[in-house]
Chain A
Amino acid sequence: MGSASTQMTITLYDFELSGNCYKLRLLMSILKLRYDIIPVDFYPGRQHKADWFLRLNPFGQLPVIKDDELVLSDSGAILAYLAKKYDETGLWFPDDPAITAEVLRWHAIADDITATSSSARLVLGMFYEFDLEKAQQGAHRIFRLMDEHLWFGEREGRDWLCSPDHPTTADIACFPYVMLSEEGGISRQDYPALRRWTDRVRRIPGFVVMSGIFPAGRAAS
């Protein structure tokens, strides 16, 4: 962290226990971007609904990023922005129209994972009043489809969610609330291909953890 001379000053409005904020910390770590953190007390302080925060994002949601004067919100949109702007390899958010569509398709699924797995976690951990059973069932449905997709992928030699032979922002977007699902009472025991994929994500050079997510074991899975 700290200001950089070669890049503009990126500031992340961040809550440590938020998987959506972690998506950006993870990609910025992989891309070796330096950034400053402004902690936002999401719980119990509810600062994401405070006036000063609503001026940054009227929808009252984390994360928000400031890149010099540019203010952006929505984790999926910011992942795309950071990759397009700072990833010189062009691998994390590829330009090819068909692959862009694939990546965006998984960004949308990542939002569905947030609406299910993350909601269940908020019910059990922070006492939000969502329908727990519905959230858990919804997450299982997504995880089953992901597990199938990844299982067939492995048979075809594809390790990641999208077709290129390298990870994209789709993998970053879907990863956190898959990994945090146990906190929402959602076991991943029945999804072996999904678990193998989480191990691969955790071995990406530059990977960082957040509270609740541990590094992959040292042995190969």
Chain B
Amino acid sequence: MESRKAKFIGETVLSGYAVVRQIPGAKMTSPIDPITADLWQVIAATDEVAIGVVETTLLLDQPIAITRDKDGLPVVWRRTSEARGDEIDPETIFDRLPVITGYGYIWTSFGNPPKELFPIPEYAEADRKNMSCGSIGLYVSAPRAVENFLDMGHFPYVHTDILGAEPHTEVKEYDVEVSEERDEVLATRCRFFQPRAALSATEGQEVEYVYRVPHPFCSVLYKSCPEDDSRRDVIAIFLQPMTEERCRAHLLQSMVDSTSTITDLRRFQQTIFGQDKPILENQYPKRLPLDPRSETPIRADKSAIAYRRWLSQKGITYGVIPMAS
């Protein structure tokens, strides 16, 4: 991987020296495809990393360390002997990985990442309640978690009486496209009957969803907002691929809700996510098969099919089972 020395001020903060160094005792690592290497990868909620204190995590099989400097700006590097909770002077860290902050999270990269993150313009609207909802470990690959996020068919069975209920089990026809211009998968006109679409919902309603997949390991959904017909709540899942078979799900909510507290809204989202977790972790294989013949899709899986094809065309091999060439 190429080292970079560029420095930016503002949203795009620091880019340092990416030095590839083998950690003694580190496990054999999977090869990282060049597309994945060049992506911004989410690693932590900004607020959850204390100034001058080491936080540690695993990204693409590599141990990394994170802290924030006295101005609150994140510093990320390949972890050597540091332990979580250690105090550290960020000035002493020279071999830094590139860093960007966005949507309440810290992102880094092992390659040459783009100048900016994918856009979520709603996040900047002043009256929204924006929050992280916890970074939760999942024993499944990042692409499997994205695919589950796109699926509505499981709502009545997994999120019973919240996001779905029998007999309203039908996934109605919806539209999927891959936007060339924005390089993202887009599913629109997704409609589903939901008994309790959001914390602010007081009765069941048919809810309309739009799903975006603007990054191979991230998805953003927009759903009708119970409080205001003209606006949409935004819920995003950013997956941090830890290994090919494990990831960490970082959840973002950007809500139009004038009454609920952050704690209430987090609880609602964690309830949903806690229901998904065992279902996701029971998926085999853990990596996402990209060969269309490997798992039988149904009509409701249209967005999943487009997502798999998009990953395949991009040349993503990390966390997937690529098509035999």
Contact = CB atoms under 8 A, between A and B. Distances in A.
Interface stretch (B12-20, B93-101, B266-274, B307-315): B266-274
B80 to A, nearest CB: 18
Interface stretch (B61-69, B133-141, B204-212, B226-234): B133-141
Given A16-B271, A212-B277, A41 B137 contact: no
Given A17-B270, A185-B139, A212 B275 contact: yes
Contacts of A90: none
A17 B278 CA distance: 13
Contacts of B133: 44
Contacts of A182: 278, 281
A74 interface: no
A212 B278 CA distance: 6
B84 interface: yes
A52 interface: no
Interface string A179-194: 0001101000000000
A44 B274 contact: no
Nearest to A179: B278
B244 to A, nearest CB: 16
A17 B277 CA distance: 11
B267 A43 contact: no
Contact of A16 (B84, B270, B278, B281): B270
Contacts of A39: 263-264, 267
B137 A126 contact: yes
Contact of A211 (B45, B132, B262, B271): B271
A47 interface: yes
A96 interface: no
Contacts of A157: none
Contact of B266 (A45, A125, A127, A211): A45
Contacts of A16: 267, 270-271, 274
B264 A126 contact: no
Given A126-B136, A127-B135, A129-B84, A41 B277 contact: no
B136 A211 contact: no
A211 B263 contact: no
A126 B271 contact: no
Q: State the main secondary structure of chain A at its contact with B.
A: loop
Contacts of B248: 127
Interface residues of A, number: 22
Contacts of B262: 41
Contact of A124 (B57, B134, B139, B274): B139
B137 A45 contact: no
B136 A125 contact: yes
A47 B263 CA distance: 10
Q: State the main secondary structure of chain B at its contact with A.
A: helix
Nearest to B248: A127
A43 B270 CA distance: 10
B264 A127 contact: no
Interface string B250-271: 0000000000001110110011
Nearest to B159: A211
Contacts of A125: 136-137, 277
B307 to A, nearest CB: 25
Interface string B123-146: 000000000111111010000000
Interface string A151-180: 000000000000000000000000000000
A44 B271 contact: no
Given A129-B84, A182-B281, A211-B274, A44 B135 contact: yes
Contacts of A40: 263
Nearest to A46: B48
Contacts of B271: 16-17, 211
Contacts of A127: 57, 135, 137, 248
A72 to B, nearest CB: 22
Contacts of B263: 39-41, 45, 47
**In the A-B complex, the 9 residue pairs with the closest CB atoms:** A211-B274, A44-B134, A41-B263, A39-B267, A125-B137, A211-B275, A124-B137, A16-B271, A39-B263
Given A43-B134, A44-B133, A125-B277, 14 more contacts: A15-B267, A39-B263, A45-B266, A124-B139, A125-B137, A126-B136, A129-B84, A182-B278, A210-B274, A211-B273, A211-B274, A211-B277, A212-B274, A212-B278
